[in-house]
Chains A and B, each alone.
Chain A
Amino acid sequence: MQPDLKLYDYWPYRDRPRIVWPGGARIACWVAPNIDFYELDPPANPYRKPWPRPYPDVSGYSVRDYGNRVGHERQMRLLDRFGIRGSVSLSAALCEHHPEIIAACAERDWEFFSHGIYNTRYTYGLSEEQERAMILDAMDSIEKHTGRRPAGYLAPALSHSEHTMDLFAEAGGVYTCDLFHDDQPTPVRVRGGQRFISIPYSLEMNDTIAYVVNRVEPRRYGGMLRDNFDRLYAEGETSGTVMCIPTHNYQVSCPHRLAALEQALAYITGHDGVWVATGREIAEYFLANYYDCAVADILRKQEAAGVNAA
Chain B
Amino acid sequence: MSTPPDPACLRYRHRRHGMDHQRYEWSQLHERELVEWPGGARVAFWVNVCVQFFPLNPRGIPFAVPGGMSMPYPDLRHFSLRDYGNRVGIFRMLDTLDRWRIKPTFAVNGAMVERAPYLLSVLRERGDEIVAHGWDMDSPHHGGLTPMEETDLIRRSIDSLEEATGRPVRGWLGPARSESPLTPDLLKEQGIVWFADWVNDEMPYRFHTRAGDLWAMPLPNEIEDRFILMQNLHSEDSWVEQVCDACDFLLREAAESGGRMLSLNLHPWVLGQPHRIARLERALDYVTSQSGVWPTTPEEILRHPSFRA
Interface residues of A (CB under 8 A from B): 37, 39-41, 43, 45-47, 52-56, 58-59, 61-63, 65-66, 68-70, 72-74, 93, 96-101, 117-118, 121, 124-127, 130, 133-134, 137, 215, 217-219, 254-259
- Taking A56-B143, A217-B241 as given, write out 15 further A-B residue pairs in contact, using a Cβ cutoff of 8 Å, ordered by the A residue number: A45-B9, A53-B63, A54-B142, A56-B181, A59-B178, A63-B222, A70-B29, A72-B28, A125-B1, A254-B220, A255-B246, A255-B249, A256-B223, A256-B249, A257-B242
Chain B residues with CB under 8 A of A101: 28
CB distance from B95 to the nearest CB of A (A): 26
Chain A residues with CB under 8 A of B198: 58, 62
- B206-225 near A? 1/0 per residue, CB < 8 Å: 00000000000000111100
Q: Is the interface of B mostly helix, strand, loop or mixed?
A: loop
The listed residue (A55, A59, A98) touching B181 by CB distance below 8 A is A55
- B94-126 near A? 1/0 per residue, CB < 8 Å: 000000000000000000000000000000000
Whose C-beta in chain A lies nearest to the C-beta of B248?
A: A259
A256 with B221: in contact, given A96-B16, A97-B15, A217-B234 (CB under 8 Å)? Answer: no
Chain A residues with CB under 8 A of B71: none
Chain A residues with CB under 8 A of B12: 93, 117-118
Q: Is B179 an interface residue (CB 8 A)?
A: yes
Give residues of chain B (1-50) contacting chain A, Cβ–Cβ below 8 Å. 1, 3, 5-6, 8-12, 14-21, 26-31
Chain A residues with CB under 8 A of B6: 43, 46, 125
User: Could you tell me if B9 and A126 are in contact, using CB atoms closer than 8 angstroms?
Assistant: yes
Chain B residues with CB under 8 A of A100: 28, 31
Chain B residues with CB under 8 A of A70: 28-29, 200-202
User: Could you tell me if A259 and B245 are in contact, using CB atoms closer than 8 angstroms?
Assistant: yes
Number of A-B contacts (CB under 8 A): 150
User: Could you tell me if B9 and A43 are in contact, using CB atoms closer than 8 angstroms?
Assistant: yes
Inter-chain CA distance A98–B18, complex, in Å, is: 6
Give residues of chain B (176-206) contacting chain A, Cβ–Cβ below 8 Å. 176-181, 197-202
User: Could you tell me if B17 and A218 are in contact, using CB atoms closer than 8 angstroms?
Assistant: no
CB distance from B74 to the nearest CB of A (A): 26
Q: Is B291 an interface residue (CB 8 A)?
A: no
Inter-chain CA distance A125–B2, complex, in Å, is: 8
Whose C-beta in chain A lies nearest to the C-beta of B1?
A: A125
The listed residue (B3, B177, B220) touching A46 by CB distance below 8 A is B3
The listed residue (B15, B176, B262) touching A255 by CB distance below 8 A is B262
Inter-chain CA distance A56–B176, complex, in Å, is: 13
